[in-house]
Structure 1
């Protein structure tokens, strides 16, 4: 994106438009509209050899084997009994697996739309998603097969080896992923439905942390844009050496899908796939496979810092955190315990196909509390929620972003789409933010999560960051508690350190000494853990329900 002549070079702010321009160099996007994300990825040149490693077995998949498997699976899926076509929806219900990218890429190469589901979801939750998305095909495991609704016609491909135990006696099962991947690719298959950048690629359901879950429709262009941003961020194509990433974040989430099932496969990086996160297994993989990059979510980072002794991290050079902002105390604690490892952050939403801002160096990460600089090809506005006025540097308002990665819209929900994306293409994030004089984005809180105390607005994240500085608190969440006199007041859920006898009164006193009176925590409950979604964001609605159920 070219920098406007009227834009401030330090902050990126343009007074004429009321918007901020990314300070990062623009990344090129393919001009040919008849390019799908799979073709784009497979055509990238790099020096990488091993694409995927199964952490549990050590089995390696080369890039040549990967793309042959994708082409073979696509050929099989386009034929009977699947007959998968452009516009059909394919569901992936699976934990992380080396088969996950093959399934996703094969389906998308045919123009099918990939929807994913959290394996921890209940059968009822999955049935609701199936009823909305109407998939014709499901990729899953034998353990998760019972969660698929029987009243919806589905062909099933099991994401497992063809040489394993006998397949379950379920008429819906048509094949295993290894069976269809071994199909000889049909060169003529490309003559079928042409897949373009404007076609739908994914249908991911938002976490629903501020309301009912909605299907987010992203196009091949959205994914290609984010692939380019991922490759530019890590500068992997510029390096002669191959980097190794450990996949600890779920591929069913936009963060994992963009990084591990698409983006990194285009730049020669090796991905070690961890099917289930456990700290000892993570450490084993880091050392056994020479992991150099570790993308994760904040709860894992907290566990690493809280460990009594520094953990053995082998050749690890960079930790990449996303999903929720990191506090200054957590960053400093990590740097003190692991000085050889850089910690980088990112900000994004399902609706923005992941990364909208990031810190890409140790120097940028020293801007404590920031989500980073705007991603390449990005414009942003900070908008007053009351007046819709575009605000300048260091003023807090709702963040609006625009770029080629912004979703097409919400699935079968025109009203929600119009309320979230303006006719000019601005995505209203629902996050209260500000951008400072150096162009760094700071996330203050969710607009809808502000606590309204006597008309004052109290950001829960601010109080949570303060609570986490207490030496006897390992985790905290703050919610609005209803009150007839004041409207709402802050209530804190606290996880104490082992052996701590910290009292509710002591917690309230600790906060009261450091904040304005209207921000005081006025109710405290102690819990063993704070409920969070796959990206590490606090599930406040669950805590609000818990608190109000006792009224």
Structure 2
């Protein structure tokens, strides 16, 4: 009997129809670094016109709803309209230009989500400058490393980040970093020798603002392959690397974020003509998108997947000062939030909290950046039957999304991370020979396409190790592909637990443990063993109100796991497991804690 998947058009067939000449998704082949590369033909050439035009188009709508600047309470909130952001960004661009910032200049941007962050980021692009987006969650020594590595000509920061960097201003200057300014008053934090600039009260003239708006100083050299953005890797295993990408690569999401919905519509039976008409003439939405923004702008997910899309689509972003489940639920109800994007834990935590009214509706959720529990799509379907959920896989080096799918495909194939977009490729290779492997063979995942980074700044050796001569990027992830072209992530190569020569995927263990409704979070990590080398251990936190012991968690998981993969040790955390600012579990920290507790257990047993 034919299955639903057999009756659906394949991803390849859909791509062939949607990407024909004359369509919004038309493809073309261009030369990038001497290689023929397939790109979206109708993608904006650079950030500058795209941002200015979009901000003008939705001028009266609210782009950002944000907590007032500390020390004001988080419940005090401020609206930033598209037009207001545009006006302040032009003034900020004029102010930076007066300080020597120009096309191609590197400019540091350090801070948590705020209206000022968005204004500063847009201002940099107005000048054709390159924002260097430093993670505000890392320790000051890591911030200093990121800035000295990239040497921006000027640095704009929020109060918290400026205060953290104040003691390092001399070290920054000695490392070639330009002056540091705070866009917020730092007085409530203590004495701080950093100059404050109020972005709403800058000393610039109307003529300077006009020059910025008209693009004075912008040359014809600013194009798709010009430098556009610098992000930093998560740095969970060492100091972050600086990821430099082109305008074209960083902007790919302008079309890549729309394409999966068109593909989904055709998978569900809509004819190509209808899909094209909806894309070309989108209906006026009586229920505009209001997005819970719970991931930071300084990562690709927050910036390129959510902020950039919000500016292009006229969405409203509701910001949080810090992640807090009750506060997230309160904001969702008060501001009628109907879209959640980011990492799986955000939706999972809100869904498990029980704090949302039973009749509360979401219309769309998308997430990536971290593995989601296998049961998640079916749980979402039960809670919000009419909502579309999508999952994606990508990384900083791929400028966010590289594979993606949603809807029934996600429900039917919950372990998958989706299919590659028409403008990129995925392959599975042998870790030793680097030769491509057949379908359903597990190996290292390599990625290629228009969205791949230019390289790691000032680290040619790391770039050569990561991107080969043919343009394939070694993602460090392990996985396999099925006959449909769907990608399945098995593990991070360096996170695989090796028990007596048997490779055990941490995701395999985590998915089995997550089937226990009491579990809110789970991380599988290795603990050392004298005979087998490593054993499986897990760290968990419990759902609100749940009770469990290590023994009954192991007992519940036991029949769901092969013998090699069964946990030998369970740590139940009293608080949420540690995550970085982008919502990814910090496994190095979790492993350190779990291994220390396991060692204590072994010492106690040895004394008996």
Q: TM-score normalised to the size of structure 2?
A: 0.79
Aligned match of 2:198 in 176, 194, 198? 176
The structure, 1 or 2, with the larger RCO (C-alpha pairs under 8 Å, 6+ apart) is 1
Residue 182 to residue 101, structure 1, CA distance change in 2 (3 Å): farther
- Say whether 1:101 aligns with 2:148: no
Higher helix share: 2
1:507 corresponds to which residue? Answer: 553
1:145 corresponds to which residue? Answer: 162
Provide the C-alpha distance between the structure 1 equivalents of 2:581 and 2:16, rounded to a whole number of angstroms.
Answer: 28
1:113 corresponds to which residue? Answer: 130
Q: Do the aligned residues in 2 keep the contact of 1:22 with 1:377 (CA within 8 Å)?
A: no
1:134 corresponds to which residue? Answer: 151
Q: Do the aligned residues in 2 keep the contact of 1:23 with 1:439 (CA within 8 Å)?
A: no
Deviation of the 1:285 alpha carbon: 3.3
Provide the C-alpha distance between the structure 2 equivalents of 1:277 and 1:234, rounded to a whole number of angstroms.
Answer: 28
Q: Do the aligned residues in 2 keep the contact of 1:47 with 1:240 (CA within 8 Å)?
A: no
Aligned match of 2:83 in 56, 64, 68? 64
**Across the two proteins, how many residue pairs are aligned to each other?**
533
Deviation of the 1:118 alpha carbon: 3.0
1:192 corresponds to which residue? Answer: 217
Unpaired runs of 5+ in structure 2? 1-8, 20-24, 28-38, 68-75, 263-278, 600-608
1:155 corresponds to which residue? Answer: 179
Provide the C-alpha distance between the structure 2 equivalents of 1:487 and 1:22, rounded to a whole number of angstroms.
Answer: 49
Q: Do the aligned residues in 1 keep the contact of 2:48 with 2:127 (CA within 8 Å)?
A: no
Deviates more, 1:197-206 or 1:361-370: 361-370
Q: Do the aligned residues in 2 keep the contact of 1:305 with 1:333 (CA within 8 Å)?
A: no
- The SS at the match of 1:177 is coil
Q: Do the aligned residues in 2 keep the contact of 1:139 with 1:159 (CA within 8 Å)?
A: yes
- The SS at the match of 1:83 is coil
Deviation of the 1:463 alpha carbon: 0.1
2:492 corresponds to which residue? Answer: 446
- Say whether 1:204 aligns with 2:231: yes
Q: Do the aligned residues in 1 keep the contact of 2:155 with 2:181 (CA within 8 Å)?
A: yes
Instruction: Spell out the pairing of 1:4-15 with structure 2 (5 A cutoff).
Output: 10=10, 12=12
2:528 corresponds to which residue? Answer: 482
Aligned Cα root-mean-square deviation (Å): 3.3
- Say whether 1:89 aligns with 2:106: yes
Provide the C-alpha distance between the structure 2 equivalents of 1:92 and 1:469, rounded to a whole number of angstroms.
Answer: 41
Provide the C-alpha distance between the structure 1 equivalents of 2:284 and 2:203, rounded to a whole number of angstroms.
Answer: 30
Q: Do the aligned residues in 1 keep the contact of 2:295 with 2:583 (CA within 8 Å)?
A: no
Deviation of the 1:356 alpha carbon: 0.8
Aligned match of 2:63 in 47, 52, 68? 52
Provide the C-alpha distance between the structure 2 equivalents of 1:316 and 1:102, rounded to a whole number of angstroms.
Answer: 29
Deviation of the 1:47 alpha carbon: 6.4
Deviation of the 1:418 alpha carbon: 0.9
Q: Do the aligned residues in 2 keep the contact of 1:90 with 1:138 (CA within 8 Å)?
A: yes
1:5 corresponds to which residue? Answer: none
Deviates more, 1:56-65 or 1:351-360: 56-65
- Say whether 1:40 aligns with 2:50: yes
Deviation of the 1:497 alpha carbon: 4.5
Provide the C-alpha distance between the structure 1 equivalents of 2:44 and 2:561, rounded to a whole number of angstroms.
Answer: 56
1:213 corresponds to which residue? Answer: 240
Deviation of the 1:369 alpha carbon: 1.8
Provide the C-alpha distance between the structure 2 equivalents of 1:100 and 1:312, rounded to a whole number of angstroms.
Answer: 35
Deviation of the 1:458 alpha carbon: 0.5
Q: Do the aligned residues in 1 keep the contact of 2:378 with 2:411 (CA within 8 Å)?
A: no
Q: Do the aligned residues in 2 keep the contact of 1:223 with 1:405 (CA within 8 Å)?
A: yes
Q: TM-score normalised to the size of structure 1?
A: 0.86
1:379 corresponds to which residue? Answer: 425
Deviation of the 1:111 alpha carbon: 3.2
- Say whether 1:240 aligns with 2:284: yes
Deviation of the 1:317 alpha carbon: 0.8
